[in-house]
Structure formats: C-alpha cells, structure tokens
Amino acid sequence: MPSRPLIPRNRSTAELLARVMGLRGSAGIVAARELLGRSGGRLADLEHGTAHGVAGVGAAARDRLAAALELGRRLASPPPEERPRLRGPEDVVRFMAPRLRSLRHEEFHVIILNTRHRVLATARVSQGILDASLVHPREVFAPALEARASAIILVHNHPSGDAEPSPEDRRVTRQMSEAGSVLGIRVLDHVIVGDPGWSTVPPEDP
C-alpha cells in the first residue's frame, strides 16, 4: 500500500513556510504570510534577516528558516555533472516554460552555460515589454561574466501565446550577439516561449 505524503501538495506556501519554521496554528500562518509579504511573495527573495521583527518568529524559527533556505539554494545549484545540459531549443523550452507560460506579463531571462552547455545559472533581466533600448548588454552579460560562462541563451515569453518573433525580438538578438562577440561569450539562441508553441531567433539570422 503506497504511503501518504507527510505534507499534502495542496498546502499553501504560507502553511509550508510556517511548518518549516515550527510555527503552529493560525498565528504561525499569519507570521509566514508577513514574511512572504516582506519578500514580495517570492521565496527566492527570502533572507534570514527578513524574519527579524515578525511577531511570533523567534531565534529558533529564524535558524530553521536559514537552514531551509540554504538547502533550497543547494538544490537549485547542484554539482556541475548534475546540472541540465541544453542541447537545443527543445531542451530550453522544457527547462524554462514552466516558469514563463503562466505569466501575464513579459519577462526576459538569460541562461548561463559552461563549455559543455550545462546550466550554471539563470537570471531575470527585465520585466515588461521587450525593448532593445531598455535591455542593456550590461545587465544581460554581468551574471555570465561573474559565472565565467562560455555561452548564454536568451529566453523570453509572449503572454499573448503567439510565439512569432517580433522585429524588436530580432533587434535584441542582434544587439546581444554583437556584444557577446566583443566579450567572448557566445549567444547560442534566443528562444521565445508562447502557449503552447515556441520559436527561436538564431543569432546568425536576426
């Protein structure tokens, strides 16, 4: 007989956060919600210091939160041999679509790769309508330079669901490809995620 999960999947983020910190009852959930509010609702932006001053959250709860956050970071940054390898746009779509397809706004991300095209990191560069005048190479390549990347892949979504590249998509691809040539970091592709389709703007054909 299959065992039941200890924590049902339908628990809210606040409930799970309260459980991790050992906070009980409705007061614990209220405290967890305040924590999430302080981080803009994003778990990725939670820090140990965020919990200071939240009613009902003592030193022990903050320590549990710090440990959970560190485990999450280690899970998100596995050893190089365990990181996904992106061999083509299909792999990129499988990797990024879950976080982009549900959005009602446009987001522009960069995937940072090593010499074997394994993912070192991802970074959100901008939010809102993609505009070559607003997406600066500095923001795109800064995390890649810091990670000593060999190459990057550009990814953004079209909330309309239509993945057809726009003239602005092509301008951004050309601009980033030229900047990458100067910096010695190849732009391998620019993938546009629609719903359910997708498309690419190859750097050699922007």
Distance CA 112, CA 108 (A): 13
Check: CB of residue 32 under 8 Å from CB of residue 62. no
- The pLDDT score that the predictor gives to residue 112 is 96
- The pLDDT score that the predictor gives to residue 1 is 45
Q: CA of 139: how far to CAs of 123, 136, 179, in Å? A: 9, 6, 12
- Whether the bond between 196 and the residue before it is cis, its omega within 30 degrees of 0, is yes
Superfamily of domain 83-200: Cytidine Deaminase, domain 2 (3.40.140.10)
Check: CB of residue 109 under 8 Å from CB of residue 131. no
Measure CA of the first residue to CA of the last residue in the chain; give whole Å: 56
Q: What is the pLDDT along the chain (206 residues), one digit of tens a residue?
A: 445 555 666 788 889 889 988 998 999 899 889 888 887 777 766 776 777 888 888 888 888 888 888 887 777 666 666 778 999 999 999 999 988 988 888 999 999 999 999 999 999 998 887 665 578 899 999 999 999 999 999 999 999 999 999 999 999 999 999 999 999 999 999 999 999 999 999 987 65
- The pLDDT score that the predictor gives to residue 68 is 86
Calculate Rg over the CA atoms of the chain: 20
